[in-house]
Amino acid sequence: MSNWDHIQSSASAAGALKVLSLSLDGQLFAIDAGCVREILDLIPVTEVPASSPFASGLINVRGKVVPLADLRHKLGMTKRSPTIDTRIVVIEVDLDGDLTTVGIIADKVHEVTDIPQSGIEATPRIGLAWPPEFIRCLGKRSGDFLIVLDITRIFSGEQSRQDPSSFQAVDRNCC
């Protein structure tokens, strides 16, 4: 399926793309609103030792244990300590065939908005500071741009690997 078909399929009846806009490291991004389950205030996070920095924690979402991922890591941004605006967006994402509930950290969540079909532009090949494969399209909206992230692509290939460095470090400690 081409990128374009993908956008078409999830567009709303009027041809508009419904997205949730959020801030990551001061930059405005958006994710497809269709995969968003709920938005939570920051809740206690359990760190998972030896996990990858992309998904290093676990949270309790209504009695379910849900991994917490940090998109900032994938987009090459620095990790910031949480502020009063920090939220957890609970989304459902296809993890290599399994629909999995995952929380993602957002520095700030703005709104659910429609990007009209005329405002959807394909990802430019150059000129973006982030890996282009993680970006689904650009959305033009009242003068500024929203960068719509391709959540499935960001999570794909993110099979749990034990972070080798941490385990080896321990290994060395032992001897």
CB of 11 to another protein, least distance (A): 29
Cα 54–22–118 angle (5° rounding)? Answer: 120
CB of 105 to another protein, least distance (A): 14
Point out which residues bind another protein (CB under 8 A).
44, 46-52, 55, 58-60, 63-67, 69, 95-96, 98, 100, 102, 155, 158-162, 166, 170-171, 173-175
Contacts 24+ apart (CB under 8 A), 69-75: 69/102, 69/103, 69/104, 69/105, 69/155, 70/104, 70/105, 71/24, 71/29, 71/104, 71/105, 71/149, 71/154, 72/24, 72/25, 72/105, 74/131, 74/134, 74/154, 75/24, 75/25, 75/130, 75/131, 75/134
Residue among 3 and 162 whose Cβ is closer to another protein: 162
CB of 103 to another protein, least distance (A): 11
Compute how many other C-beta atoms are within 10 angstroms of the C-beta atom of residue 130: 18
Report d(CA 99, CA 54) in Å as an integer: 18
Residue among 52 and 113 whose Cβ is closer to another protein: 52
Residue among 100 and 113 whose Cβ is closer to another protein: 100
Residue among 16 and 40 whose Cβ is closer to another protein: 40
Residue among 54 and 119 whose Cβ is closer to another protein: 54
CB of 101 to another protein, least distance (A): 8
CB of 114 to another protein, least distance (A): 31
